[in-house]
Amino acid sequence: MLKRPRDSAYRQKFLQVQGFHAKGWVWRQQSYILRKNKVRADKLNIEKSIGKNMLFNFLKVFSSTIFPMATFTYSARILGVAAVGEVSFVRCVISWFCVAAMLGVGYYGRREAARLRDDKIALSRFVHEMLFINAGAVLLSYVVLLLLLCTIERFWQCRELLLIHSVLIVLMGMGMEWLYQALEEYQYIAVRTVLFQVISLLLMLLLVKDADDVAAYAVILVIASSGSYLLNFLNCRNYISFSWYGQYEFRKHLRPVFTLLALALSAQFYTVLDSVMLGFFKGNISVGIYTAASKTVGMTSALINALTAVMIPRLSYYMGKSKLREVKMLMNQSIHFMFMFAIPAMLGLFVLSDEIILLFSGNGFGGAEITMRWLIPVVVASSFSYVAGEQLVSLGREQMVLLAGVAGAVTNVICNAILITGFAHHGAAVASVLAESVVALVSFFHIKDFIDKKSVIRICGQFLVASLPIILIRMFIKATGFYYIWQVLFTIVLSGILYFSCLLLMKNECARITVQTVRDGLQKFLKKRWIQKRTKQ
């Protein structure tokens, strides 16, 4: 005789579907089979949803990187270096106000909403509280922005662009991106992001025609960055209710929100400080040249981070299950994969810097290739900082990430103050490298107990040796005299093939997994196309 089920809803379900003995509530044997199959199905669905979420998240990051690069390539040739520099300066300034207006809700809201997503009333109440907190922060940010606009001459000179970009403060506050991430609506996020990026690219081609269209360029950037947030607000009715519940509790959220705000501000501070200080001390031209150099480096780092970020959810899962052996294995593996892409990318950017600047920025950005060479070590340093930071968050050590960010911010301020006055954008590049290196070192100090240092050094040696033929390939292709676009393309393709061939000869496990994954994906795609073709016939 089996025990009576305690859950009334669960009991009622089986009464309707499976049935019970009228006396004694005796479970039938089939109910166990159904429950066991349900658990297996749920587990399979979870694994499939994680894989799908990873795919859509990479699509979002990829589109958010490629489309802005395409619009920058076009606008740099139309508007010129000074206009591009002025817009970049304004966007860096406004980014601080956006972070302050969000008050760390992005981190906190995503975590708490994920816990409440099965209770619509509790989730709706929490979202209301976050929106009220964001509204107060947005209002305060606008007041501070208007005061600075009236008191600082540099801000008053670009007041039109500052007011246009200030719309970002409101849209980010009401966009609730964290809610959709908590609900794991990654497909919606990816499709929406790609849609607005395509719209912005089309608007750029239609509206930006000459050097006087700077305001139109700024409006299009705002649409590309946060137009989707308005759609988020309109679409959230499908997940929450806007009914007034009353008795909202704001005080309990303030401490974690402000703690996470400090983490976000420290990261944002040293990321955009160099462009802001260049704008104050050296003007728009230096900012434009620095922007042209940093765009490609930043795009490369973002793509590498997107490739390694897919391991973080599994790391959190292992940590939640207290599987320390698997945690250490996955932490080392993610660092190996990061270096596998970062080391050849750094060398490739160095040998192709002249052609890359010409390809993405045109002829009006003289000196940007030198700045880009100074910036190239950021690819390795920032990628390692990102991986280590995500690992520390998964381990529950957010304070260590904050400490690393503060150390990087202090280093950036001191180095920029010393170097920008004498070396302009070149000095800002060196300051960024030093700041990112400090963040990477502090992060490494806190995860070193989980890292097999000998293995990392050995693997990095393989990556470095396999990357050296890139120099020979570049010299050979440059001697052919091909058009510079073809030189970039041929160098990347041939270098990639030779790089992975060398790693496979060295029996590198990361390279084997990468090649196997790509090969399986291509086989699956070709098989699907062949089946579709046979079906049509």
Which range marks the domain in which residue 335 is found?
282-464
Give the total residue count for the chain.
537
Say how far apart CA 325 and CA 320 lie, in whole Å: 13
Q: Is residue 288 part of a domain?
A: yes
Q: pLDDT at position 536, please?
A: 65
Say how far apart CA 489 and CA 74 lie, in whole Å: 19
Q: Is residue 370 part of a domain?
A: yes
Q: pLDDT at position 40, please?
A: 38
Integer CA distances (angstroms), 358 to 482, 486, 494, in order: 15, 13, 21
- The angle, 0 to 180 degrees and rounded to 10, between the axes of the packed helices 105-116 and 120-151 is 170
Please name which of 233, 151, 180 lies closest in space to residue 60, comparing C-alpha atoms. 180
Q: pLDDT at position 20, please?
A: 40
Q: pLDDT at position 322, please?
A: 65
More confident residue, 28 or 161: 161
CB atoms within 10 A of CB 475: 11
Reply yes or no on whether the pLDDT at 2 is more than 70. Answer: no
* CB of 229 closer than 8 Å to CB of 256: no
Distance, CA of 96 to chain centre: 17
Say how far apart CA 486 and CA 477 lie, in whole Å: 9
128-153: average pLDDT: 88
Instruction: Give 332: exposed, middle or buried? Use CB within 10 Å, 0-12, 13-18, 19+.
Output: middle
Q: How confident is the model at residue 498 (pLDDT cuts 50, 70, 90)?
A: very high
467-487: average pLDDT: 87
* CB of 145 closer than 8 Å to CB of 90: no
Q: Structurally, how many domains does the chain consist of? A: 1
Q: pLDDT at position 344, please?
A: 92
DSSP 8-class letter at 249? -
pLDDT more than 90, % of the chain: 6
Q: pLDDT at position 494, please?
A: 92
Say how far apart CA 309 and CA 517 lie, in whole Å: 16
pLDDT digits (tens, 9 = 90+) for 179-215: 887 777 777 877 888 888 888 888 888 888 888 888 8
pLDDT digits (tens, 9 = 90+) for 379-436: 999 888 888 877 776 676 777 878 888 888 889 889 988 888 888 888 888 998 999 8
Instruction: Give 199: exposed, middle or buried? Use CB within 10 Å, 0-12, 13-18, 19+.
Output: middle
More confident residue, 269 or 153: 153
Q: How confident is the model at residue 521 (pLDDT cuts 50, 70, 90)?
A: low
More confident residue, 498 or 485: 498
479-490: average pLDDT: 85
Q: pLDDT at position 486, please?
A: 87
Please name which of 52, 100, 110 lies closest in space to residue 393, comparing C-alpha atoms. 110
pLDDT digits (tens, 9 = 90+) for 210-240: 888 888 888 888 888 788 888 888 887 887 8
Q: Is residue 324 part of a domain?
A: yes
* CB of 58 closer than 8 Å to CB of 238: no
Q: Is residue 343 part of a domain?
A: yes
Residues 6+ apart with CB under 8 A from 291: 72, 84, 85, 88, 275
b/e string for 101-117 if b means 16 or more Cβ within 10 A?
A: bbbbbbbbbbebbbebb
Q: Count the helix, strand and coil residues of the chain and give each as a percent rounded to the nearest 5.
A: 85, 0, 15
DSSP 8-class letter at 19? -
3-state secondary structure of 3: coil
Task: Specify the DSSP element, H or E, that contains 274.
Answer: helix 251-281
- Put residue 243 in one of left, alpha, beta given phi > 0 → left and psi -120 to 50 → alpha: beta
pLDDT more than 70, % of the chain: 83
Q: Is residue 90 part of a domain?
A: no
b/e string for 142-176 if b means 16 or more Cβ within 10 A?
A: eeebeeeeeeeeebeebeebbebbbbbbbbbbbbb
pLDDT digits (tens, 9 = 90+) for 328-365: 777 788 888 888 889 999 999 999 888 888 887 777 77
* CB of 97 closer than 8 Å to CB of 166: yes
* CB of 207 closer than 8 Å to CB of 213: yes
Q: pLDDT at position 402, please?
A: 80
Q: pLDDT at position 23, please?
A: 38
78-107: average pLDDT: 82
Q: pLDDT at position 465, please?
A: 92
Say how far apart CA 394 and CA 398 lie, in whole Å: 9
Q: pLDDT at position 16, please?
A: 46
Q: How confident is the model at residue 11 (pLDDT cuts 50, 70, 90)?
A: very low
DSSP 8-class letter at 326? H
3-state secondary structure of 223: helix
Say how far apart CA 133 and CA 253 lie, in whole Å: 9
The Cα angle at residue 99 between residues 95 and 107, in degrees rounded to 5: 135
Distance, CA of 15 to chain centre: 49
Q: In which residue are the tokens 């002249």 written?
A: 354
Say how far apart CA 82 and CA 285 lie, in whole Å: 5
Please name which of 194, 248, 260 lies closest in space to residue 224, comparing C-alpha atoms. 194
More confident residue, 513 or 385: 385
Q: Is residue 488 part of a domain?
A: no
Reply yes or no on whether the pLDDT at 48 is more than 70. Answer: no
3-state secondary structure of 26: coil
DSSP 8-class letter at 47? H
Reply yes or no on whether the pLDDT at 73 is more than 50. Answer: yes
Q: Is residue 437 part of a domain?
A: yes
Reply yes or no on whether the pLDDT at 61 is more than 50. Answer: yes
The answer to which of 51-55, 86-90, 360-364, 477-481 has the lowest mean pLDDT is 51-55
Tokens of 333: 């593996």
* CB of 348 closer than 8 Å to CB of 495: yes
- Going along 11-130, which residue ranges are E strands? none
Say how far apart CA 87 and CA 217 lie, in whole Å: 9
Q: pLDDT at position 347, please?
A: 92
Q: pLDDT at position 17, please?
A: 43
DSSP 450-472: GS-HHHHHHHHHHHHHHHTHHHH
476-504: average pLDDT: 88
DSSP 8-class letter at 200? H
Distance, CA of 28 to chain centre: 51
End-to-end CA distance of the chain: 59
Q: Is residue 335 part of a domain?
A: yes
Integer CA distances (angstroms), 108 to 70, 118, 267, 371, in order: 33, 18, 16, 37
Average pLDDT over the chain, rounded to an integer: 78
